[in-house]
Amino acid sequence: MKKIVVMISGSGSNLEAIIKACNAKNINGEIVCVISNNPHAYGIERAKKYSIPTKIIDHKEFSKRDDFDNALEDILDYLDVDLIILAGFMRILGKNLTHKFYGKMINLHPSLLPLYPGLNTHAQALNNKDKYHGISIHFVTSKLDEGPLIAQGKILIKEDDDIEKLIARIHKVEHDLLPKVINELCLNNIYLNCESHKVMYSNILDSKMFVTYFNN
Protein backbone atom coordinates (compact mmCIF):
# COMPACT_ATOMS: atom_id res chain seq x y z
CA MET A 1 0.00 0.00 0.00
CA LYS A 2 1.41 3.35 -1.07
CA LYS A 3 2.00 6.23 1.31
CA ILE A 4 0.29 9.39 0.04
CA VAL A 5 0.63 13.05 1.00
CA VAL A 6 -2.02 15.51 -0.16
CA MET A 7 -1.06 19.18 -0.34
CA ILE A 8 -3.78 21.84 -0.19
CA SER A 9 -4.33 25.57 0.16
CA GLY A 10 -8.11 25.86 0.31
CA SER A 11 -11.38 24.06 0.94
CA GLY A 12 -10.10 20.55 0.28
CA SER A 13 -13.10 19.11 -1.57
CA ASN A 14 -10.78 16.97 -3.68
CA LEU A 15 -8.94 15.94 -0.54
CA GLU A 16 -12.20 14.60 0.87
CA ALA A 17 -12.91 12.73 -2.36
CA ILE A 18 -9.49 11.08 -2.08
CA ILE A 19 -10.04 10.25 1.60
CA LYS A 20 -13.39 8.61 0.85
CA ALA A 21 -11.88 6.59 -2.00
CA CYS A 22 -9.09 5.38 0.31
CA ASN A 23 -11.57 4.44 3.02
CA ALA A 24 -13.67 2.55 0.48
CA LYS A 25 -10.53 0.65 -0.64
CA ASN A 26 -10.82 2.17 -4.11
CA ILE A 27 -7.27 3.48 -3.78
CA ASN A 28 -4.44 1.10 -2.95
CA GLY A 29 -2.87 3.62 -0.63
CA GLU A 30 -3.29 5.63 2.55
CA ILE A 31 -2.98 9.34 3.23
CA VAL A 32 -0.24 9.69 5.83
CA CYS A 33 -0.38 13.49 6.04
CA VAL A 34 -2.17 16.54 4.69
CA ILE A 35 0.12 19.55 4.22
CA SER A 36 -1.16 23.09 3.83
CA ASN A 37 0.65 26.37 3.22
CA ASN A 38 -2.49 28.16 4.46
CA PRO A 39 -3.20 27.80 8.20
CA HIS A 40 -6.82 28.78 7.59
CA ALA A 41 -7.54 26.25 4.84
CA TYR A 42 -10.83 24.46 5.48
CA GLY A 43 -9.23 21.29 4.12
CA ILE A 44 -7.36 21.02 7.43
CA GLU A 45 -10.70 20.53 9.20
CA ARG A 46 -11.71 17.92 6.63
CA ALA A 47 -8.51 15.98 7.35
CA LYS A 48 -9.05 16.20 11.11
CA LYS A 49 -12.60 14.88 10.69
CA TYR A 50 -11.07 11.67 9.35
CA SER A 51 -8.22 11.64 11.92
CA ILE A 52 -5.56 12.24 9.28
CA PRO A 53 -2.38 13.98 10.49
CA THR A 54 -1.90 17.54 9.25
CA LYS A 55 1.11 19.79 8.89
CA ILE A 56 1.01 23.54 8.27
CA ILE A 57 3.98 25.13 6.53
CA ASP A 58 2.90 28.75 6.23
CA HIS A 59 4.72 30.30 3.27
CA LYS A 60 4.28 33.74 4.83
CA GLU A 61 6.70 32.78 7.57
CA PHE A 62 9.56 32.42 5.06
CA SER A 63 11.39 35.38 3.55
CA LYS A 64 12.72 33.27 0.67
CA ARG A 65 10.89 30.81 -1.56
CA ASP A 66 13.80 28.36 -1.28
CA ASP A 67 13.46 28.32 2.50
CA PHE A 68 9.80 27.32 2.17
CA ASP A 69 10.74 24.60 -0.32
CA ASN A 70 13.45 23.33 2.03
CA ALA A 71 11.00 23.08 4.93
CA LEU A 72 8.58 21.21 2.70
CA GLU A 73 11.33 18.90 1.48
CA ASP A 74 12.29 18.07 5.07
CA ILE A 75 8.79 16.90 5.99
CA LEU A 76 8.37 14.93 2.75
CA ASP A 77 11.70 13.19 3.37
CA TYR A 78 10.68 12.42 6.93
CA LEU A 79 7.38 10.90 5.79
CA ASP A 80 9.16 8.85 3.08
CA VAL A 81 6.16 9.12 0.78
CA ASP A 82 5.44 7.29 -2.46
CA LEU A 83 3.05 9.80 -4.02
CA ILE A 84 2.44 13.53 -3.51
CA ILE A 85 -0.87 15.00 -4.69
CA LEU A 86 -1.23 18.75 -5.24
CA ALA A 87 -4.98 19.23 -4.92
CA GLY A 88 -5.68 22.95 -4.90
CA PHE A 89 -2.16 23.77 -3.70
CA MET A 90 -1.59 27.38 -4.71
CA ARG A 91 2.19 27.69 -4.60
CA ILE A 92 4.74 27.32 -7.36
CA LEU A 93 7.48 24.93 -6.25
CA GLY A 94 11.12 25.42 -7.20
CA LYS A 95 13.44 23.40 -9.41
CA ASN A 96 15.29 21.57 -6.65
CA LEU A 97 12.14 20.27 -5.01
CA THR A 98 10.30 19.35 -8.20
CA HIS A 99 13.40 17.65 -9.61
CA LYS A 100 13.85 15.58 -6.45
CA PHE A 101 10.25 14.33 -6.50
CA TYR A 102 9.85 14.17 -10.27
CA GLY A 103 7.62 11.22 -11.09
CA LYS A 104 6.20 11.10 -7.56
CA MET A 105 4.36 14.44 -7.51
CA ILE A 106 1.16 15.14 -9.48
CA ASN A 107 -1.07 18.18 -9.82
CA LEU A 108 -4.75 18.64 -10.56
CA HIS A 109 -5.40 21.68 -12.78
CA PRO A 110 -8.88 22.94 -13.77
CA SER A 111 -8.43 23.35 -17.51
CA LEU A 112 -7.68 21.30 -20.59
CA LEU A 113 -3.96 21.98 -20.66
CA PRO A 114 -2.14 23.46 -22.47
CA LEU A 115 -5.11 25.85 -22.40
CA TYR A 116 -5.19 28.27 -19.48
CA PRO A 117 -2.31 27.51 -17.14
CA GLY A 118 -2.49 29.47 -13.91
CA LEU A 119 -5.59 31.08 -12.42
CA ASN A 120 -9.15 31.98 -13.48
CA THR A 121 -9.50 29.05 -15.85
CA HIS A 122 -13.29 28.79 -15.67
CA ALA A 123 -13.82 32.46 -16.47
CA GLN A 124 -11.40 32.23 -19.38
CA ALA A 125 -13.25 29.24 -20.85
CA LEU A 126 -16.57 31.08 -20.63
CA ASN A 127 -15.25 34.43 -21.86
CA ASN A 128 -13.62 32.77 -24.86
CA LYS A 129 -16.83 30.88 -25.63
CA ASP A 130 -15.04 27.55 -25.63
CA LYS A 131 -17.01 24.48 -26.62
CA TYR A 132 -15.30 22.28 -24.03
CA HIS A 133 -13.81 22.69 -20.58
CA GLY A 134 -12.28 20.22 -18.19
CA ILE A 135 -9.45 19.19 -15.92
CA SER A 136 -5.90 17.95 -16.36
CA ILE A 137 -3.85 15.70 -14.09
CA HIS A 138 -0.13 15.92 -14.73
CA PHE A 139 3.26 15.23 -13.22
CA VAL A 140 4.80 18.32 -11.64
CA THR A 141 7.83 20.19 -12.92
CA SER A 142 9.16 23.63 -12.00
CA LYS A 143 7.30 25.13 -14.97
CA LEU A 144 3.75 26.21 -14.19
CA ASP A 145 1.24 23.54 -15.29
CA GLU A 146 3.58 22.18 -17.96
CA GLY A 147 4.48 18.71 -16.66
CA PRO A 148 3.72 15.50 -18.59
CA LEU A 149 -0.02 14.92 -18.85
CA ILE A 150 -1.51 11.81 -17.26
CA ALA A 151 -5.25 12.17 -17.86
CA GLN A 152 -7.91 14.73 -18.68
CA GLY A 153 -11.61 14.96 -17.96
CA LYS A 154 -13.65 16.85 -20.54
CA ILE A 155 -17.17 18.29 -20.54
CA LEU A 156 -19.29 20.16 -23.05
CA ILE A 157 -20.00 23.73 -21.94
CA LYS A 158 -23.77 24.22 -21.87
CA GLU A 159 -25.54 27.33 -23.11
CA ASP A 160 -26.89 28.14 -19.65
CA ASP A 161 -23.58 27.62 -17.84
CA ASP A 162 -22.45 30.52 -15.72
CA ILE A 163 -19.25 30.36 -13.69
CA GLU A 164 -20.93 28.84 -10.61
CA LYS A 165 -22.62 26.09 -12.62
CA LEU A 166 -19.45 25.37 -14.55
CA ILE A 167 -17.35 25.13 -11.40
CA ALA A 168 -19.88 22.74 -9.84
CA ARG A 169 -19.76 20.51 -12.92
CA ILE A 170 -15.97 20.61 -13.01
CA HIS A 171 -15.80 19.60 -9.34
CA LYS A 172 -17.80 16.46 -10.16
CA VAL A 173 -15.25 15.57 -12.82
CA GLU A 174 -12.37 16.17 -10.43
CA HIS A 175 -13.90 14.05 -7.66
CA ASP A 176 -14.48 11.18 -10.09
CA LEU A 177 -11.28 11.13 -12.15
CA LEU A 178 -8.59 12.10 -9.64
CA PRO A 179 -9.11 9.12 -7.26
CA LYS A 180 -9.11 6.73 -10.25
CA VAL A 181 -5.80 8.11 -11.50
CA ILE A 182 -4.31 7.99 -8.00
CA ASN A 183 -5.25 4.33 -7.68
CA GLU A 184 -3.65 3.46 -11.03
CA LEU A 185 -0.49 5.26 -9.92
CA CYS A 186 -0.50 3.34 -6.63
CA LEU A 187 -0.85 0.07 -8.56
CA ASN A 188 2.02 1.13 -10.87
CA ASN A 189 -0.33 0.85 -13.85
CA ILE A 190 0.62 4.44 -14.63
CA TYR A 191 4.15 5.73 -14.12
CA LEU A 192 6.55 8.29 -15.54
CA ASN A 193 9.65 7.32 -17.47
CA CYS A 194 11.83 10.08 -16.03
CA GLU A 195 14.45 9.76 -18.78
CA SER A 196 12.09 10.09 -21.74
CA HIS A 197 9.55 12.21 -19.79
CA LYS A 198 6.81 9.96 -21.18
CA VAL A 199 3.85 8.76 -19.15
CA MET A 200 3.58 4.97 -19.38
CA TYR A 201 0.31 3.06 -19.15
CA SER A 202 -0.18 -0.62 -18.38
CA ASN A 203 -1.76 -2.72 -21.09
CA ILE A 204 -4.69 -3.44 -18.78
CA LEU A 205 -5.76 0.18 -18.93
CA ASP A 206 -8.34 1.39 -21.40
CA SER A 207 -6.50 3.45 -23.99
CA LYS A 208 -9.24 6.06 -23.67
CA MET A 209 -8.35 6.83 -20.05
CA PHE A 210 -6.12 9.70 -21.15
CA VAL A 211 -9.14 11.80 -22.15
CA THR A 212 -12.40 10.89 -20.42
CA TYR A 213 -15.66 12.53 -21.42
CA PHE A 214 -18.28 13.38 -18.80
CA ASN A 215 -21.93 14.20 -19.48
CA ASN A 216 -22.85 15.77 -16.14
**Distance (Å, whole) CA 177 – CA 108:** 10
| SS3 of residue 139 by DSSP | strand
Just list the catalytic residues.
109
Beta bridge partners of 214: 155
In 3D, which of 34, 99, 112 has the Cα closest to residue 69? Answer: 99
Pairing of strands 149-156, 132-139: antiparallel
Reported residue count of the chain is: 216
Contact between residue 81 and residue 5 where contact means Cβ atoms under 8 Å apart: yes
